[in-house]
Amino acid sequence: MIYKEFGNTGKMVSALGFGGMRFPMHEVDGKKVIDYEKSTPLLHRAFELGVNYVDTAPYYNHSDSENAIGKALKGWRDKVYVSTKNPLSNDSADEWRQKLEASLTKLDTDYIDFYHSWGLNLKDFREKFDVKGGPVDAARKALDEGLIKHLSFSFHDDAANMIPIIDSGYFSSVLCQYNLLDRANEEAIAHAQEKGMGVVIMGPVGGGRLGAPSPQIQSLLGRKVESTAEMALRFVLGNPNVNVALSGMENLAMLEENAKVASIEGPLTAEELRHVQVMLEENKRLSELYCTGCKYCLPCPQGINIPHVFANMNMHRVFGLTNHAREEYAKLLKPMEDRKENWEKELGPDASHCIGCGQCEAKCPQHLKIIEQLRETHAALR
C-alpha cells in the first residue's frame, strides 16, 4: 500500500480509502441494516491490506454505516483514521454539537480524526457555517476538547466556489469529486495542496460508470490495463495533488483489486500521464461534437434535458460505456407519473418527445443539429 503525507496534518494516509456507503445489507425485523457478519471481516481485511482511512456519514446505508464502522474499529482504532460528516442544516452551534455527539456515539469512539462539514457550498459556508456563535465556533471548541482532530469539508458546489472556502484557513482537508469523466475540480485540488490541505477524492470510478468494461478507457495509457476501474483509479492516484481515493467496496474481490492498484509504486509515469492527457483532450473534442454542456439550448418546450441526453450518448459513443449509458437513458423512458423522487422528475422525458420545433438549434452557439442528434441518441440507447 502506498502512503502519502496528508497536507500539513502530520498524518500518513493510505492511497486507497474505504468508503462506507456500499456495505452488504440484509433485512432484520422488516428494517434494512448492514450485515455485520460480512462488513466487519471486509473492513478488517482492508486494514490488514494497509487501508488506514475510512469515510462514512450519518445517513449512509440506511443510517447504519457509522454503527458498522464502530464495530469493526475494535482493536484497530489507533491504526485507522476515521472520517465522518455533519449535515449542516442551519447556523445553530447547538445542533452542530448534537450531530457530532451522535456520530461519536454511533462510532463508539472518543474522537473523530477528520470531521467534515457535509456537502458545504459557498452560500452555506458564508450564511450558516462562518457566523459568530455558529458552527465554526462549535467546531473550534470541539477541536480544543479533542473530540475532533481536524476540521474538513466535503464539496459538491461549482469548482470555483471551492477556492474561497479553502482560503478561509479553517479546514485541514477537502473531500470532492474527481475522475476521468469529471475533472472540473482539478485546479481547486491543486490549490488545496498548495495551501497545505489534504485531498480526498470521492467517485474515482465515476459512481460506478467507470467500473464497466470499456476498451477505449482501458487503452488510455497506450497499452491495455486489466480493467476500466483500474485505469480510473490509477488516473486519480496519478495526480500528485491527490492523497486518498475513496472506494465503496462491497466485497473482498473489489477490495483486493483496488488494494493491488493502490500498491503500484508511481501509479502513472510522466509519459503515461502525458499520453492520458492527450487522449482525454481528444475524447473531450469528440464529446463536444455532440454537446459542450453549455445549456444555452434550454429550456426545451417539451421538457427534454438535452445536455443530459447527450451526456449519455457520449458515455456510449466516446467512452464505450454502452451498458451504463442505456441504463441511465432507461430512466428517461420511465413515465413521469411513476417517478416518485424529485431528481427523477428533473431528468425530463426521453429524446423521442422532441417535436422538431427548432428552438434549441436557434440558441445553440455550436450550431449543432440537435433535432437529428436527439433522434440518433434515442435510436442508439432506447
Tens digit of pLDDT for each residue in 130-174? 999 999 999 999 999 999 999 999 998 889 999 999 999 999 999
Residue 85's alpha-carbon distances to 35, 56, 96, 153, in angstroms, are 22, 7, 11, 8
**What is the pTM (predicted TM-score) of this model?**
0.73
Confidence of residue 336 (pLDDT cuts 50, 70, 90): confident
SS3 percent helix, strand, coil of the chain, rounded to 5, is 45, 15, 40
Give the torsion sign (CA, 249, 255, 260, 262).
Answer: positive
Q: In which residue are the cell numbers 469529486 written? A: 177
In tens, the pLDDT along 1-28 reads 999 999 999 999 999 999 999 899 898 8
| 8 Å CB contact between 234 and 225 | yes
How far is residue 230's CA from residue 369's CA, in Å, rounded to a whole number? 36
Alpha helices in 49-134 (DSSP H): 60-63, 65-72, 93-107, 122-124
Who's near 74: CB < 8 A, 6+ residues apart? Answer: none
How far is residue 370's CA from residue 382's CA, in Å, rounded to a whole number? 17
pLDDT at 211: 44
pLDDT at 95: 96
Who's near 71: CB < 8 A, 6+ residues apart? Answer: 36, 39, 40, 108
How far is residue 26's CA from residue 227's CA, in Å, rounded to a whole number? 29
pLDDT at 209: 44
pLDDT at 208: 44
Output b/e per residue, 230-239; b: 16+ Cβ within 10 A.
bbbbbbbbbb
pLDDT at 115: 98
Assess whether pLDDT exceeds 80 at residue 366. Answer: no
Average pLDDT (108-122) is 96
Please, what CATH class does the domain formed by 3-268 belong to?
Answer: alpha beta
Who's near 118: CB < 8 A, 6+ residues apart? Answer: 57, 85, 86, 87, 88, 154
Confidence of residue 34 (pLDDT cuts 50, 70, 90): very high
**Domain residue limits, the chain:** 3-268, 289-381
Alpha helices in 168-244 (DSSP H): 186-194, 215-218, 228-237
For the chain, the farthest-separated pair of C-alpha atoms sits apart, in whole angstroms, at 66
Q: How many CB atoms lie within 10 A of CB 23?
A: 28
pLDDT at 322: 82
pLDDT mean across residues, the chain = 87
Q: In which residue are the cell numbers 475494535 written? A: 74
pLDDT at 31: 87
Average pLDDT (225-230) is 60
| 8 Å CB contact between 186 and 167 | no
